[in-house]
Chains A and B, each alone.
Chain A
Amino acid sequence: MKFKIVNITVSIFVLGFIVPFVLQTDVFPFVRFGMFAEKPKINSQKELFLISYQTKDGKLHAIDYQFTKQSKWHQLALNYHLRKQEIIYLQKLNESFVEYNARKWFIDKVVIKSNYQQDTVKLAIYEVK
């Protein structure tokens, strides 16, 4: 019995390390330890996403910067941007924050270069029907 417990534990951990390692993917609760593993592009630059909305009275409001810079929210915006689904992203935001009574949603990308110069690129506008 005692060896069964140890052997089962060992087998679970061995599988837990090997499966994500071979498949190079996370199979939660087992994960691939691939943080910072891919080679970065030389021209890599920091990107931030700014989300804002216009209410029916014409006023413009920005979603709290502290909110959007958190890694999870930033990752979501980045993923939708990479998939070229910014409009869907804004639609989902509108669905999530109905209480804002937004008329239009905007997503902008701020590119911070290595010399701290910033460029803002307008990515998409979603008009609420």
Chain B
Amino acid sequence: MKLNKWYLVISIILVGIVGVYSLYVRDTVISFFNGTENVFLDKIISVLYPRYYTDKFRFNVDFFVHKCDQIVVRLVIVYLLGSLFLIFKSNINKWFNSITANFTLNNINYLNIYYFVFLLWICKDWYFLFNDLYQIKAFYKPILLFSFSFKSMPNILILNLVLSVLYLATLSSIFNIYRKWSSVLSIICFVFLQMVFFSFEKIDHGYVPFTFLGLIICIVNFNQNNQLIINQLQKIAQVMLVACYYFAGLEKILSSGFTWFEAENFKVFMLMHKSYFTDFVVNNRVLCAILPIGAMLFQLLSPLALYNRKMSVIFIVFGFLFHFNTWLLFGVGALLHPWVVCYIVFWNKKMES
């Protein structure tokens, strides 16, 4: 009964949102994008979509109206998925509990060493990076979280201090010295420095699952004596990782339909990101047809990796190939991509043996 009430309330709200949007907001949005002044919309956009002020020189009104329509469509999708989750809650819980997770107290030690060695490797040249960035501090534009606290770029002394703490805390986590707190300190510094790095008009998605995994490892470190929580957290980490791939696939479908399944679309992307192999691939019909379909299927079917151990192994193999090809053909990412580093979440005892 209680659940039905909630359904009714949420449904009314959703119908209200869709109705108000179609009858009033959509026209206001169109006239705003056509140049009519609207202080309220301008404020919302400056906070939520700061790239608009660049994009408005690139795209026409239809692009932005499509984006607004998408917000409503996505709200409906989230609502429907949320409803399905509530209806099948017990089945989903059962499925969640069936995911293989074998992190034990013993291999958490190795997990920490593995993660923090990679963190150190990722940040190895950040001293030079932040000194370079500080030189061009005139270009600093704080991201949303920094817009209240660091309106101008933090001083280089502060940045170097945070970087030193990051290195020390990471080493401390590797060698198991005050690991609980050193891992937290390390992740806080890592996130802080990323925030500075991304305050130059470009947010890089390469570190996202890696950062999420770091947060999970911190929580694991505080619950080292609780095998149940450790298992649950490993399962959350697995769901989080495949969700990153799944959402990347879903975004492509929602933003540009099924064009990613077409060879022509792939060719255009290849020509925009030329590499040593561009000519070979662009002139090969079979590769132009297979590669984009393979990439889309890999992303959209990634949740299958949670089904069983065999599927997770297949996911890992295709994941390596996916990132390797993206690096080789588009010059995007790296040979050992930070997303690939996160495949450790599928580690279990059977794999070990």
Point out residues on A near B: beta carbons under 8 Å: 2, 5-6, 9-10, 13, 16-18, 21-29, 31-42, 44-46, 71-72, 75-76, 79, 82-84, 92-93, 95-97, 112, 114
Contact = CB atoms under 8 A, between A and B. Distances in A.
Nearest to A97: B135
A79 B252 CA distance: 23
Given A2-B228, A26-B203, A37-B255, A46 B274 contact: yes
Nearest to B248: A33
Given A5-B229, A46-B272, A82-B57, 15 more contacts: A6-B233, A23-B49, A25-B48, A27-B144, A29-B194, A31-B205, A33-B208, A34-B248, A38-B256, A46-B273, A46-B274, A71-B202, A72-B200, A83-B57, A92-B136
B283 to A, nearest CB: 12
B34 to A, nearest CB: 19
B157 interface: no
Interface stretch (B66-74, B120-128, B167-175): B66-74
B300 interface: no
Contacts of B269: 36, 40
Contacts of B265: 39-40
Interface stretch (B158-166, B239-247, B343-351): B239-247
Interface string B171-211: 00000000000000000000100110010111101001001
Main secondary structure of the interface of B (DSSP, over half): helix
Contacts of B244: 33
Interface of B: 48-49, 51, 53-55, 57-58, 67, 70-71, 74-75, 78, 135-139, 143-145, 191, 194-195, 198, 200-203, 205, 208, 211-212, 216, 219, 223, 226, 228-229, 232-233, 236, 239-240, 243-244, 247-248, 250-252, 254-257, 259-260, 264-265, 268-269, 271-274, 332
Nearest to A96: B136
Nearest to A89: B139
Contacts of B195: 28
Contact of A34 (B75, B226, B229, B255): B255
7 contacts: A6-B229, A9-B216, A18-B78, A28-B143, A29-B211, A37-B251, A83-B54
B247 A21 contact: yes
A22 B200 contact: no
Nearest to A36: B269
A75 B208 contact: no
Given A6-B232, A23-B71, A28-B143, A76 B248 contact: no
A22 B82 CA distance: 13
A75 B248 contact: no
A34 B299 CA distance: 13
B138 A96 contact: yes
A17 B205 contact: no
A23 B202 CA distance: 17
A125 to B, nearest CB: 19
Contact of B54 (A13, A82, A92, A112): A82
4 pairs of A and B residues whose beta carbons are closest in the complex: A39-B256, A33-B248, A92-B138, A37-B255
Contacts of A96: 135-139
A106 B191 CA distance: 36
B255 A39 contact: yes
B135 to A, nearest CB: 6
Nearest to B262: A39
Given A28-B195, A82-B58, A83-B57, A75 B229 contact: no
